[in-house]
Amino acid sequence: MFLSIFDVFKIGIGPSSSHTMGPMTAARRFLDELADGDWPRAANARPAALTASLHGSLAFTGIGHGTGRAVTLGLCGQDPKTVDPDAMDALVAAVEASGMVQPPGHGQYRFRPALDLVFDKRNTLPGHPNGLQFAAFDSDGQLLLRRVYYSIGGGFVVSAAELEAVKHASPADAEVPYPFAHAKDMLAMAASSGLSIAAMKRANEQASQSRATLDRGIDEVWGVMDACIDRGIAQDGILPGGLNVKRRARRIYEQLEPQWQRNEITPLMANDWLSLYAMAVNEENAGGGRVVTAPTNGAAGVIPAVMRYFLKFNASATPQTVRDYLLTAAAIGGIIKHNASISGAEVGCQGEVGSASAMAAAGLCAIMGGTPTQVENAAEIALEHHLGMTCDPVAGLVQIPCIERNAFGAVKAVTAASLALKGDGIHAVPLDACIETMRQTGMDMSEKYKETSLAGLAVNVVAC
């Protein structure tokens, strides 16, 4: 199993990679299977009606994450990467009014979201906390096709059979030049080859695509990240969902920019810009805008914020600098995902913002001249200081504490990179041990603290 940089960084929409992008992708996948015709053909049976049910974390926080909307849009044939955020409301409203969907290449199917989409909080599916079930029926109500999918974090969607295959697959089996599955393997390969982590990741990617194609793809990812920061800064008003959370990025920018223009350096300036960029992304994510999973939507602000911060304070950066940063970050993200999880529903927010912070720390350390051992050290420091972090979104919305939490994840990433660069790479806790600790902590964590909004801030803050 080779995890590409474009698996880690997926272009999509907010507010959640696992609860929005994943369900939309699952719905589209069900349509594809329906089109393949793998259902009884007796008596000219034809699909006429669709149903869907959400289970586990998707059921508990799906309303706040827009999961129902995402399923409806997916059954309309929409894709997270290409759907127009400004057209989504009208598409959903049309389905709710007509009780029908007509995806491209299909006939009309009855689908009444209020009746045919069930948030099932009683029955969990065995494979993963984020389970979805779809079914198609003929005009007489006969079941033609039923499928179960799991949204396993970061926009990844798998069937039950694929989930088992993923659990047993290893990057070490991939047909790439540097098939590292663990950080220790990565460091050993870097030492024997003399290459940086970014260069090894690039070589792995170029085993299946040209350098030009790879660079275009990375530049597109960064372009969306960068534009998300700008749009987040430009927007104002109240975020949707009922918590009456005000967007703050624009106001912070309006305070910082005049100071910058006057060259008025303050002790807080670097942190202020860093926090601004992270919050701008996650306010945009909370508003359902265009974002990049990094490695998830809930943690989407950390990695772009650290890169934009570096560009702000380092005029010598080039497009190659950005590419190396993202390649390094993706290498670390792949190791974390393979050996633990990036899903808040599975291991809590340590797997989302913690992973993002580790990835950003590694990327920043690399582009500032860090050795592979220093890069690994930076990732470990950042992840270590997110261990045990729960996922307890108030009202199931990716707003409180998620937006500010990205700012802190970015600050920790920069601090971790700085500490690692001032050392020689030798440290007591290997990154692999820290990742395993995160996995174990997540498994031991009460389900109430893993994206269910049943504990923590979610029950101690009045949603009004």
Q: What is the mean pLDDT of residues 58-72?
A: 94
pLDDT, position 2:
86
Mean pLDDT of the chain: 95
pLDDT-derived band at 45 (thresholds 50, 70, 90) equals confident
pLDDT, position 43:
53
pLDDT, position 41:
59
3-state per-residue secondary structure call for the chain:
CCCCHHHHCCEEECCCHHHHHHHHHHHHHHHHHHHCCCCCCHHHCCCCEEEEEEEEHHHHHHHHHCHHHHHHHHHCCCCCCCCCCCCHHHHHHHHHHHCEECCCCCCCEECCHHHHEEEECCCCCCCCCEEEEEEEECCCCCEEEEEEEEEEECCEEEEHHHHHHHHHCCHHHCCCCCCCCCHHHHHHHHHHHCCCHHHHHHHHHCCCCCHHHHHHHHHHHHHHHHHHHHHHHHCCCECCCCCCCECCHHHHHHHHHHHHHCCCCCCCHHHHHHHHHHHHHHHHHHCCCEEECCCCCCCCCHHHHHHHHHHHHCCCCCHHHHHHHHHHHHHHHHHHHHHCCCCHHHHCHHHCHHHHHHHHHHHHHHHCCCCHHHHHHHHHHHHHCCCCCCECCHHHCCCCCHHHHHHHHHHHHHHHHHHHHCCCCCCCCCHHHHHHHHHHHHHHCCHHHECCCCCCHHHHCCCC
pLDDT above 90: residue 321:
yes
Q: pTM for this one? A: 0.93
pLDDT, position 463:
54
Q: Lowest-confidence range among 203-207, 261-265, 289-293?
A: 261-265
Q: What is the pLDDT of residues 126-170, one digit of tens each?
A: 999 999 999 999 999 999 999 999 999 989 999 988 988 877 777
Task: Return the percentage of the chain with pLDDT > 70, whole number.
Answer: 98
Q: What is the mean pLDDT of residues 242-250?
A: 97
pLDDT above 70: residue 42:
no
